[in-house]
A and B are shown apart, each in its own frame.
Chain A
Amino acid sequence: MKTVSSFGLTLFSSALLLAATARPLHADTDCLTCHSDTTMQDANGKNIGVDANKFHSSIHGNLKCSDCHKDIHDYPHPDRPAAVQCESCHTDEGASIAGSVHAKAAAAVSGTTTDSGAGWKGHPCTGCHGNAHEIVTKTDPNSTVYPLNIPKTCGGCHGDPAMAKKFHLPNVYDLYIDSIHGFALGKEGLLVAANCTSCHGAHKILSHTDPHSSTYRTNIPGTCGSCHVGINEQYQKGVHGKAVAAGNTSAPVCTDCHTAHGIVEPTSADFRMQSTPICGSCHRDKFSTYRDTFHSQLGLLGGYTETARCWDCHRAHEVLPTSDPNSPVNKANLIATCGRCHAGANASFVQYQPHANARNRKLNPALYYIRLFMNLLLTSVLTFFMLHTVLWLIRSRLQQVKSKSSGGKNA
């Protein structure tokens, strides 16, 4: 559907014919006399036709043309009618969009302010809402902003590689479509599944670097939590949630582990396989010691997705310090926690250290000396026999050459 974005251009043919006979316009029918031709174009080839039926059944169908095209009172009308100011009625939306990333981007492109909409490629509203004369309510499945249609609408720009490159945006559309939200929305038609606007808002979309943005780091738990209420409650009780609430911006929020657009089912093999290094990107020492263990070795090679990952023991959202009696890794709870996988785990079994560091003499002296002994054994045996073998090889070869040249037998 090609969008008619503005009437701000000359109606050449009509103007030439009827230039002399100006008269007031009284009814929509007067406008539609000309504009009902849906193939009608202006001098620039822009479609300026209006489908009367669609217009009348649209949400604005009971308005008069001049309610929006306020500068047109009689005929012939100006060559370049002013851009329609939707915000004259939609005040809040107008104010919201004026401070949004879209307005800033438009300003950056055109080098002008955006109050008049002059900087937009099209009209600031119709870019998302579609043909101005055919706008229907957002609960209508035909609406471009009906929840199930929103990703496609936003994706018109944000799924365009050229656009992504130009504005240094990740190609979020593809990520979203393949994500659990995209799947729920697109494949299963779940109206409640998160679409673009659920997280970013519709009109007042702000950059994630803006502290007022719904996607600003510290606001993300609240944003996701508007749907995932239960998870957010757990998260807020955990160390990460508390740190974020206390203003620690380096503590992880939802998107650090789940990503923003390419969110996968957290119990899926893919997620279980990819996510341990995410925790490890902050908890480096714990990750390194985890990688020394069987849990990690099992996990890395794939196929054993049920092997313990960070969150299987520490929980994913309500991560608590070991000292907290509610923590699954608190001493009192270890038998239950380990026992979830290891049937028959007892008090001795749970003394196993999932993050033991055999290289650290202070933390794990027994393990340190065992490793040292094994390494010494390995190097001494190999060194001795390597030397033994090399000398033997040389001697045998010499003997062989000697006996061959003398025609005798070797030893």
Chain B
Amino acid sequence: MPEPIPTVTAPVPKASIAVPPAVPEKPRYFLRFTLGQRSLHAVLLSTFLGLAATGLMMRFSGSIWAIRFAKLVDGFGTILFFHKFCALVLTIAFLVHVREIIARGIFKRDKSIFWGPTSMVANWKDVKDLFGHMRWFLGLGPKPKFERYAYWEKFDYWAVFWGMVVIGFSGYAMWFAPFFARFLPGWALNAALVIHSEEGLLAILFIFSIHFVNTHLRPDSFPMDMVIFTGRESEEEFKTRRPEEYQRMIAEGKSATRITDAPQPWLINFSRAVGFTAILIGLTLLVLTLSAYIAG
């Protein structure tokens, strides 16, 4: 069992059971991620696990676990098929996301996508937050007040974005090598494998160690931040985690538009099951990767 969770950042149900006497009315919940955004994350999560697992077996094709697993699934063909299948699904998810950005940013002229407090684009505040956060790590200053997306979340986003472009492009270049060779020089196909495998490794190592810890396993979120699965967070969580956004919302008088119901118990349980499975698979793959690296 995880260690006792501080009241404020406790997962939703526990807080709602433990806190009532202190809070006069029922805790309010705010929507952070829409169903569409959560679905996109779910697709990203599951295809990434599939791509990582199959990709690692190809990258470390000489390792015992890769060969054993390949035998289990009747050879390399199955692994490559699954890798390509996940890649296609992820590509579709990526295109859906890009389509949405274009629709909102260009056709609806929603500039908040490109700049402003809710944009994913880095701004001066992110730089200040990064240094402020580090000062806080060392006990040299107060904790920065984060906006809707903190700098490390923006980094995660752009790392995945860049990763999908780079890994995707190099992957398709290898998949359809003769076609890509019509406009790429031959050595680019050599480069494609180097880039694909190194960038893939970076993504795997980053997600399964840094992202897992930053987002889920650090003491404030332990064992898992459920908001990406349920889409909802309590007012307390909202206020402590993203004070700047909370204050802006209150100041703009937009709280009513974001208030939502408490997550249903089934949703919490389902999210837990999915989240823990993902973390378990991820950590297993991380151990296998590191062991393969150490073994050479």
A residues apposed to B, CB below 8 Å: 291-294, 296-304, 342-346, 348-353, 356, 358, 364, 366-367, 370-371, 374-375, 377-378, 381-382, 385-386, 388-389, 391-397, 400, 403-404, 409-411
Whether B220 pairs with A385 at a CB distance below 8 angstroms is no
Give the top 8 A-B pairs by smallest Cβ distance, nearest first: A303-B75, A351-B186, A349-B181, A374-B198, A344-B178, A301-B70, A301-B76, A391-B137
Checking A293, A374, A404, A409 against B195 with a beta-carbon cut-off of 8 angstroms, the contacting residue is: A374
Checking B76, B159, B194, B218 against A374 with a beta-carbon cut-off of 8 angstroms, the contacting residue is: B194
B95 interface residue per 8 A CB criterion:
no
Most-contacted residue by chain A among B61, B143, B159, B174 (CB, 10 A): B61
B residues apposed to A, CB below 8 Å: 6-9, 57-59, 61-62, 66-67, 70-71, 74-80, 133-134, 136-139, 143, 152, 159, 174, 177-179, 181-182, 184-187, 189-191, 193-195, 198-199, 201-202, 205-206, 209-210, 213-214, 218-220, 240
14 A-B pairs with CB atoms under 8 Å apart are: A297-B58, A302-B67, A302-B76, A303-B77, A303-B78, A304-B75, A370-B191, A378-B202, A382-B209, A382-B210, A386-B210, A388-B134, A393-B219, A395-B139
Whether B178 pairs with A343 at a CB distance below 8 angstroms is yes
Whether A353 pairs with B219 at a CB distance below 8 angstroms is no
Contacts of B57 in A (CB 8 A): 301
Give bound CA distance, A291 to B202, whole Å: 21
Whether A392 pairs with B214 at a CB distance below 8 angstroms is yes
Q: A301-B58, A382-B202 are in contact. List 9 more A-B contacts (CB 8 A).
A: A294-B174, A304-B76, A304-B77, A356-B190, A375-B198, A385-B206, A392-B218, A395-B136, A395-B137
Whether B177 pairs with A342 at a CB distance below 8 angstroms is yes
A290 to chain B, nearest CB (A): 12
Known A-B contacts A381-B202, A386-B209; the reply to A411 vs B143 at CB < 8 A is yes
Contacts of B7 in A (CB 8 A): 409
Checking A303, A349, A370 against B189 with a beta-carbon cut-off of 8 angstroms, the contacting residue is: A349
Whether A381 pairs with B206 at a CB distance below 8 angstroms is yes
Measured CB to CB, the nearest residue on chain B to A353 is: B190
Give bound CA distance, A397 to B221, whole Å: 11
Whether B190 pairs with A391 at a CB distance below 8 angstroms is no
Checking A292, A344, A391, A392 against B179 with a beta-carbon cut-off of 8 angstroms, the contacting residue is: A344
Checking B186, B191, B193, B195 against A294 with a beta-carbon cut-off of 8 angstroms, the contacting residue is: B193
Contacts of B205 in A (CB 8 A): 378, 382
Measured CB to CB, the nearest residue on chain A to B76 is: A301
Give bound CA distance, A366 to B177, whole Å: 19
Give bound CA distance, A344 to B176, whole Å: 10
Most-contacted residue by chain B among A296, A366, A394 (CB, 10 A): A366
Whether A410 pairs with B78 at a CB distance below 8 angstroms is no
Give bound CA distance, A374 to B7, whole Å: 43
Whether B206 pairs with A352 at a CB distance below 8 angstroms is no
Contacts of B76 in A (CB 8 A): 297-304
Whether A377 pairs with B178 at a CB distance below 8 angstroms is no
Whether A367 pairs with B202 at a CB distance below 8 angstroms is no
Whether B70 pairs with A302 at a CB distance below 8 angstroms is yes
Whether A404 pairs with B6 at a CB distance below 8 angstroms is yes
Checking B152, B177, B214, B240 against A352 with a beta-carbon cut-off of 8 angstroms, the contacting residue is: B177
Give bound CA distance, A301 to B136, whole Å: 49
Known A-B contacts A348-B186, A367-B190, A393-B218; the reply to A374 vs B199 at CB < 8 A is yes
Checking B61, B71, B74, B240 against A411 with a beta-carbon cut-off of 8 angstroms, the contacting residue is: B240
Give bound CA distance, A103 to B228, whole Å: 83
Give bound CA distance, A375 to B261, whole Å: 47
Measured CB to CB, the nearest residue on chain B to A401 is: B219
